[in-house]
Structure 1
Amino acid sequence: MQFHAARAQVPPSLLRQPGDLDLFTTSSQRRRVQQWLEELGLLPNKSFNVLHGRYRLMYLAKGEKVDIFIDEFQMCHRLAFSDRLALQPVTLPLADLLLTKLQIVELTEKDMRDALALMLAAPWGTHDEPGLLNVNRIATLLARDWGLWKTVTTNLAVLRGRAALLVEDHEALALLHDRLLQLQEAIEAARKGWRWRWRAIIGERVRWYELPEEP
């Protein structure tokens, strides 16, 4: 996330020092990644890895946490990415990275700054291309999953209300408002399937998200 923000014209108020590190891989590369991390001297969180190792591993390095997500990002919502890793060098595609923030049910100020920074970090488009944020990718995923739609659209409303408090640059703020509107319009225009419509009828009477377990 900071990789993209640092390379773009992102206002300083949205930049921060990197903290914990998130890595993404596929199940076919799991053993190689574990071997590589241990050769670097990182220590596995053995109890966590036994419980969650199918889709997530955790290592420690000098007090810092390194998360390895395998085939999917599973926190408040599940985001599959095994077919997305080859689309962009170094990181997940920008749309997928943004969704890892927008899927958080209780956004912190740090999460808000990260999400806004990603929205400013690259041009937007409607297809997958390195260095481009694919708006249609987000809209399509939300049209399949009412729970993800509910969380993301709620967070977009929060970001619209908080952006002026977090971004002092007027030009960047105007661009953010334009992009938030563009994303909202794409989400509304995406055709919703019967599963989405059925879940929408149930609505908030049944919890639509998970509470991620952290050690």
Structure 2
Amino acid sequence: MDKEDFEAEADRLLRAARAEGVTLRLLGALAFKRRCPVHARLQDVLKRVYTDIDFAAYSKEARKVQTLLSREGYVEDEMTYVESEGSRMVLNHPATGLHLDVFLDKLDFCHTVLWNGRLEQEEDTIPLAEMLMQKMQIVQLNEKDIVDTIMLLLEHPLGDRDGENINIELVAEVCARDWGWWRTLTMNLAKVKQIAVTYPQLSDQEKLRVAEQVDAALARLQAKPKSLGWKLRAKVGDRKKWYRDVGELAPQMQGL
């Protein structure tokens, strides 16, 4: 299947979910392509190939999601749902070979990105703040994470609300409670700024825009008052590991 086939199938499933009143939202590479159409060309830097379609949903709607996707031709790997304690579904389409990942209530890798009533903020994808956090929570960043983040920062301004803004206030609130989140996210934003200047595919104006967005985001994260737990953990610093290893979860992250 080529990229257009994946995009068409994602559209079809989103339409089916809306028709049934099921809360289903895209995340991963297809979400970035959808929300960053002007700068989606940057995914071609990696000759990006889609391997699956990733969705976010709520566990309270798990049965509805299962019924919907089954009706659309997908067969669930029920053991994944059991072994993940109801936090993840994996489904495959016997005719097309297409693979779906559905993350219920949260995305749980190096850090945890919670859906927590946030999926209603957007019609087709997770909100832009969670898209940023999805990428920036990976301690061992790879190029696709950097490219997708650059796309997002070029396409959308920072703001205090959702919609077409990256809700940096929400991100700052998460990081003000959790030193580990703050440590990883600030570290990775700095890496994005550093690496963006090396991409010949970006104009000087685009490189400057990325740098300005990163600097503004870091300033907001720094200025947000921190919790007592944050301050106590900050005293320990890097002497104690602040993130989860995701080596064994690498296959789950491939399409993200």
| Fold similarity call, TM over 0.5 | yes
- Answer yes or no: is 1:162 the counterpart of 2:191: no
Aligned mates of 1:29, 1:79 — CA distance in 2:
18
Change (3 A) 1:76 1:65: farther
Aligned mates of 2:233, 2:53 — CA distance in 1:
34
- Answer yes or no: is 1:22 the counterpart of 2:54: yes
Change (3 A) 1:49 1:106: same
**Once the two structures are superposed, what CA deviation does each residue of 1:35-81 show, in whole Å capped at 9, x if it has no partner?**
11122222323332221042222223444432211111111111211
Give the match for residue 199 of structure 1: 233
CA shift, 1:149, in A, is 0.9
- Answer yes or no: is 1:35 the counterpart of 2:67: yes
CA shift, 1:205, in A, is 2.5
Greater alpha carbon shift after TM alignment, 114-123 vs 188-197: 114-123
Give the match for residue 4 of structure 1: 35
- Answer yes or no: is 1:59 the counterpart of 2:91: yes
- Answer yes or no: is 1:46 the counterpart of 2:75: no
CA shift, 1:20, in A, is 2.5
Letter in 2 for 1:13: L
Mapping for residues 11-160 of structure 1, pairs under 5 Å: 12-15=41-44, 16-61=48-93, 62-126=96-160, 128-160=161-193
Larger relative contact order (C-alpha < 8 A, sep ≥ 6)?
A: 1
Letter in 1 for 2:211: H
- Answer yes or no: is 1:208 the counterpart of 2:242: yes
* TM-score (ref. length: structure 2): 0.77
Letter in 2 for 1:52: S
Aligned mates of 2:90, 2:227 — CA distance in 1:
36
Aligned mates of 1:107, 1:45 — CA distance in 2:
29
CA shift, 1:10, in A, is 1.5
Native 8 Å contact 2:56 2:104 kept in 1: yes
Equivalent pairs counted in the alignment come to: 212
Aligned mates of 2:53, 2:237 — CA distance in 1:
34
Letter in 2 for 1:188: Q
Cα RMSD for the two superposed structures: 1.8
Secondary structure of the structure 2 residue equivalent to 1:107: coil
Aligned mates of 1:34, 1:11 — CA distance in 2:
31
Native 8 Å contact 2:128 2:162 kept in 1: no
Percent identity over paired residues = 29
Letter in 1 for 2:216: Q
| Ranges in structure 1 where 5+ consecutive residues have no aligned partner | none
| Ranges in structure 2 where 5+ consecutive residues have no aligned partner | 1-31, 252-256
Change (3 A) 1:117 1:18: farther
